[in-house]
Amino acid sequence: MTGTLSPAGRWRSMRGRGAVAAAAVVLAGIVPGADVARGDQQISTELAYSCAFPGGARPVKVGVGARFPDRAAAGAAIQPTEVSTSVALPDAAVADLTKLHAARTGATTRLTTEVAQNGAAAEALWQGAAPSVPLASTGGATLQATGEVPTITANSPGDLTVTAAALTIDFSPVTAEGAATDPATVSVACTLTPGGSALLAKVPVTAASSSPAPTPSTSATGLATDGPRQPSPSAPEVVPPKTRGAPPATAPECRGDTTQPLALSAYVTGYSNVTKLGGASLIPVYCAKIVQGPSQLKRIEVRPGVFELHLFQSSVGRLDYRGRTQTPPAPATFLTFGFMPTTATMTLEQTGPMAIDSDLNNTAGHGETYIRIPLTLRLSDVQVNGTPLDVGPNCRTTGSVYSDDPDPAKNTKDHLVLLGRLKKGTDTVWRGYSLSRGGPLDGSVTIPPFTGCGVGEDLSPLFTASVSGPANTVKQNQGAPCASGIPDDPAKLCTPDKQPTNVPLPLR
């Protein structure tokens, strides 16, 4: 993911593994569409910890990855992105869990980091969630946790450093039958093994160009202190990600097809937003399954004597939630007509094929991926001002939410269109969305009128007036896919039973 190999090269070397994982992304919902800013330095560090398991202290290797900006201005928020924590358990640690009759385990991680600048410091808690992995008597086990972390604001110029400290791992083991073990949670405290460097990142901070000096923070909200030390006025400010959401502790099952060489599976999440209602709701992590089409490398003459090298691929896919082609039912809260508190369960149901078309222009250094999918919006469990409103089992849009398709031949107004963009910077690093690495996709949709709403009286006009209409922005985020159709997994993007290890974060 550092961009040293062009996406075209990665697709060939991975047999097109990313080819459509993007599709997965297809749709976690209708969302607010701010673009995602990615930093310029990718950090990857392996740390040695000693963890207090029930059977004794066990050595555990912990890999920490994240992306930071290469520099920042005083007073500007620094948001680490693409944060992941890899926990490699030795056989002895796995044995401590299997003694509880555990066959699998997921986990949540809590990594304390020290944020320091100019002799002042504060603590930021990095939390992550890892999907369940199987446990065997030999070979150990590796859990891959992802999660959103606090933002950091430096109040003055000078190098800002982020250093790893204590780690807590909360395991959630289950038996082969899927029942919780006794105890249901095994909490393990870990300390760094002396002798190694725990530095995660260093960000040079420059003076703000044309802004007054920031007012010192008088609140310690979101800051953890070490003993008597308190954040001083010049200490970096740490703001937890209270409003941005986080993936659940365990992602749903997403076993990929192992019989199809070009099969992929990926986790997807996002937010659902309706312009009329002025609110966004989290779509929980769900699974998408894709079958890639063949890749075609074409040399295209763009003007006399000038050629560009394009890599084209068309694939198909489907959403998957417990075997159904839909997103998970998700609670949504908003103000109907601007003042009436309303809650509902919202589901997006796939009603036709998902098509994924990608074009990577390796010569010009950019790429586009278009995902087209028909999706009906269904509402249930509606409450208005706390009072249930019986909408019945068939409250849904009259057809698919739809976008204006940039291809006139496909502009049939019966499907959603999402676009992912990839761009190679002047530093030769590719940034944005590609099928092989995931990332953000966005677009704009119109929500059709509703039908079938109400028991005894037709409430469809109420939802049409409150919800239906154009200009509902979309933002999705796809995790790196598991290429379930191939036996090798050099990037460790699959669990042993071919489920994705990467659980993405919802993006606004």
Residue 339: partners with Cβ closer than 8 Å, 6 or more residues away: none
Q: Which two tokens stand for residue 258?
A: 């192992």
Confidence class of residue 476 from pLDDT cuts 50, 70 and 90?
confident
Asked whether residue 404 carries a pLDDT value surpassing 70, the answer given is yes
pLDDT confidence of residue 369: 93
Domain ranges, ordered by start, for the chain: 7-21+25-30+247-478, 37-211+234-239
What would you measure as the largest C-alpha separation in the chain, in angstroms?
A: 72
The two tokens of residue 449 are 């009128």
Other beta carbons within 10 Å of 210: 4
pLDDT at 283 over 90: no
Phi, psi of 458 (to 5 degrees): -85, 110
Range in 261-270, 271-280, 346-355 the model is least confident about: 271-280
* CATH of region 37-211+234-239: 2.60.40
Q: Where are the beta strands (DSSP E) in 321-468?
A: 330-336, 340-350, 354-361, 366-373, 375-384, 387-389, 396-397, 416-424, 430-432, 439-447, 450-451
Q: Are 109 and 169 in contact (CB under 8 A)?
A: yes
Lowest mean pLDDT among 103-117, 265-279, 472-486: 265-279
- pLDDT computed for residue 82 by the predictor: 84
pLDDT digits (tens, 9 = 90+) for 7-59: 433 333 333 333 333 222 222 222 222 223 334 788 899 999 999 999 999 99
Whether the predicted model's global pTM rises above the 0.75 cut: no
pLDDT of the residue at 119 = 86
* pLDDT on residue 209: 59
Q: What is the pLDDT of residue 281?
A: 66
Residue percentage of the chain with pLDDT more than 90: 35
Q: Which helix (H) or strand (E) holds 125?
A: strand 120-134
Grouping H, G, I as helix, E, B as strand and the rest as coil, residue 466 is helix
The pLDDT tens digits of the residues spanning 158-199 come to 999 999 999 999 888 888 876 677 787 788 999 999 988 899
Confidence of residue 220 (pLDDT cuts 50, 70, 90): very low
